[in-house]
Amino acid sequence: MISTVVGSNTIRVVQGDITARETVAIVNAANNHLWMGSGVAGAIKAKGGDVIEKEAMAQGPIAVGEAVVTTAGALSNEYVIHAAGMGQDLRTSAEIIAEVTRNSLKRCAERQIESVAFPTIGTGVGGFSITECARIMLENARAHLADNAYPSLVEFVIWGEIGYGEFLTVFTEMFGGEKPDE
C-alpha cells in the first residue's frame, strides 16, 4: 500500500479485491447499458447480488463517460458507482477514462460520500494500458481532491501483482516517495 495527501484528502493504492474494501462506495467498471458481465462487474454482482444490476439497468442506458449510483446489495459498502468506461463496442479511450473518473468523483461529492474505491477502468475487456490508466485516474483524482472535500479517501484497488507494480510506479513518479516493499 502507498498513499499521499492532497489538501485534506488521501489517495491510496492497494492490491486486492475491490469487493472486500471497507469504503462507503466502490466503483464498477461498467458499460453504458449497465448490465454486469465479467471482470469487476461480475465480481460485484456475484458478491452483492442481482439487485445491484437491476438498480443500475433501471437508470440506463447512460452516456459513455457518465456514472450513476446504486445501493450495494449484500456488500458491506453502502453504494456502487457504475462508471460507463465503454459502450457496447467494449472500447475505451484516455478521454473516456478521464471523464468517467471525474464523473464518479462528482457523484461522491454530490452525496457527500466519505470514501470510494476504484478499479483500473478500461484495462480488462477494454484492453487499455494500465500505466496510462494510472496516469489518467491519479491525475483526475488529484485535481478533484484539490477543490473538493468529498471523498476524503480515494483508493485505487489493483487486482494482480503486475498491474499493482505498474500503478505503483506511476504513483511514485507523480507524487514522489518510494514504492513500498512487497
For residue 137, the model assigns a pLDDT of: 98
Average of per-residue pLDDT across 91-106: 97
CB contact at 8 A, 4 and 154? no
**Category of 177 on φ-ψ map: left (φ > 0), alpha (ψ -120 to 50) or beta:** left
Neighbouring residues of 6: CB distance < 8 A, sequence distance ≥ 6 = 141, 142, 145, 146
Q: Is the pLDDT of residue 182 over 80?
A: no
For residue 169, the model assigns a pLDDT of: 96
164-169, long-range: CB < 8 A, 24+ apart? 164/13, 164/15, 166/130, 166/131, 166/134, 167/13, 167/120, 167/130, 167/134, 168/2, 168/13, 169/131
Report if pTM > 0.85. Answer: yes
**Beta-bridge partner residues of 5:** 10
Residue pLDDT, tens place only, 142-171? 999 999 999 999 999 999 999 999 999 999
Complete domains list, the chain, with CATH: 2-175 (3.40.220.10)
CB contact at 8 A, 96 and 122? yes
Cell representation of residue 69: 449510483
177 versus 13: the higher-pLDDT residue is: 13
